Amino acid sequence: MSIELKNASFTYWTSDGKDVRALMDISFKIEEGEFVGIMGHTGCGKTTLIQLIAGLLTPVSGSVLLDGHDINKRGYDRKVLRKSVSLVFQFPEYQLFESTVEKDVAFGLKHSGSSCDEVRARVKWAIETMQLPYDALRLQSPLSLSGGEKRRIAIAGALVTKPRFLIFDEPIAGLDPKARHSFMETVSQLNREGTAIIMVTHNADAIGEYAKRLLVFDNGALVIDGAVNDVFSNSGRLESLHLNAGTVRNIGDMLSKRGIAIPSTAASYNELFSAIKAVLAGGV
């Protein structure tokens, strides 16, 4: 299964009646099982893009295809889209609304035709996948939980349909380093199990550590689409777009300027440490 945009554009209108091209002639394809990061400065069209992918917005021109089928074409079965693609908004804890954790997580299965036992098993799986205790939390109000627990429960609600594509909009914003690491490890495990991850973030370190492919947007246009290591190796190009390649690449560039040869393709901490060890082993 794949998600594909073909020459997709989107325009919105401001309160004073002006039209703004949020996205212009965007084309790319994401295959099942990929981990794709999306970066770009504020206002470049990232959130509009993921809402197009999730079917919340309709392009003014071009198309959005799921497994080769236009999701906006008349007669398309939106149940396929809802089962296959889940979008987790920024600060998803604000989306919680049901009286209990169990009901909130189960909401996505409301019209699935699943039996009560099937729903309960799926909800338990989703909550425990987010490293929370099902039995201890299932009857609690989601609004009574801590901030971190709320976020994980909201994401469990997106997971419960077992989507092929899971889209995040700034999922680690506001999290402390320990919580960021724990969250990203959980997401990475989902990816290893076959779920495609599409993640909008300003955190270049998270992209370098976990994503394999990076899409970079600027003023509504897709300007870079490539392997993370290759994109981050050209830190000057990213800087021209007012973006940073992250701590690993900054350290690598600093060491290279001081005569310590660090490959420009090192984008993760493991790659950086391996390069430093290789240099030390060589006696430099």
H-run or E-run covering 153:
helix 147-159
Angstrom distance (rounded) from CA 51 to CA 87: 8
Fold of the CATH domain 2-245: Rossmann fold (3.40.50)
How would you label 20-46 residue by residue, b for 16+ Cβ within 10 Å and e otherwise? Answer: eebbbebeeebeebbbbbbbbeeebbb
Indicate the pTM of the whole model. 0.88
Q: Which of 96, 67, 39 is nearest to 213 (CA)?
A: 39
Q: What is the pLDDT of residues 208-244, one digit of tens each?
A: 999 999 999 999 999 999 999 999 988 888 889 989 8
Give the whole-number percent of the chain exceeding pLDDT 90.
52
SS3 22: strand
| Residue 187 neighbours by CB under 8 Å, 6+ apart | 166, 168, 171, 197, 199, 210
Mean pLDDT of the chain: 90
The answer to whether 52 touches 200, Cβ cutoff 8 Å, is no
Q: Is the pLDDT of residue 2 over 90?
A: yes
SS3 233: coil
Model pLDDT, residue 283? 54
Q: Where are the domains of the chain?
A: 2-245
Say whether pLDDT at 147 is over 80.
Answer: no
- What is the rounded distance in angstroms from the CA atom of residue 14 to the CA atom of residue 261? 50
Q: What local confidence, expressed as pLDDT, does residue 284 receive?
A: 47
